Amino acid sequence: MQSCSDIRLIYSTFPDSASATAAAREIVGAGLAACVNMWPGMRSLYCWEGKVEEGEEVVFLAKTTEARVEEAMARIAACHPFDEPAVIVVDVAAGRDSFLDWIRTQTGQGAVPPGG
C-alpha cells in the first residue's frame, strides 16, 4: 500500500442521474478525473433559504490528483444545475499502488514511484 499526498476525491451531489452523468463525462473526458462513481437514490435533508428541504439526490465521487482538482471542481460547478452545488475535496491518505498510479496516468500526472 502506498502512502500518498497527491490523490483527491471530489464529492458532490446532483438532483438526477442525467446531470450527474453529464458532469462525469465532462471531467473524465477532459482528463480531469480518472473515474466518477454515482449513487442514485440518496435522501438529503438540508436547510436552504431559511427552510428545511428534503429530496432525492445522486452522490457523485470523482477520483483525481491534486494538480487537477481545481479545474475539475470548476468544471463540475460550471455544469451543475444547483445555485450552490456541494463540491468538496477529500485527501486520500493511502491506497493500492497500482490503482493510485492508474489515477495519476488517467489524469496526465504520470506514475509516481512508491514513497516519491
Residue 98 placed within a domain: yes
**CA 13/CA 58 separation, integer angstroms:** 5
Residue 77's Cα: distance from chain center in Å? 11
As given in the structure block, the three cell numbers for residue 62 are: 470523482
Query: What does the pLDDT average to over 58-78?
Result: 97
Contact (CB, 8 A) for 106 and 30: no
Residue 43 placed within a domain: yes
Domains contained in the chain, number: 1
Residue 3: which pLDDT band, with cuts at 50, 70 and 90? Answer: low
Residue 111 placed within a domain: no
Domain span at 102: 2-106
Contact (CB, 8 A) for 66 and 6: yes
Residue 4: the pLDDT is: 74
Residue 76: the pLDDT is: 97
Task: With a cut of 60, say whether residue 111 has pLDDT above it.
Answer: no
Amino acid identity for residue 104 in this structure? R
Give the orientation angle of helix 66-79 with respect to helix 17-29, to 10 degrees: 140
Q: 10 burial class (0-12, 13-18, 19+ CB within 10 angstroms)?
A: buried
83-102 pLDDT tens trace: 899 999 999 999 999 999 99
Phi, psi of 110 (to 5 degrees): 70, 165
Give the CATH number for residue 53: 3.30.70.120
13-49 pLDDT tens trace: 999 999 999 999 999 999 999 999 999 999 999 998 9
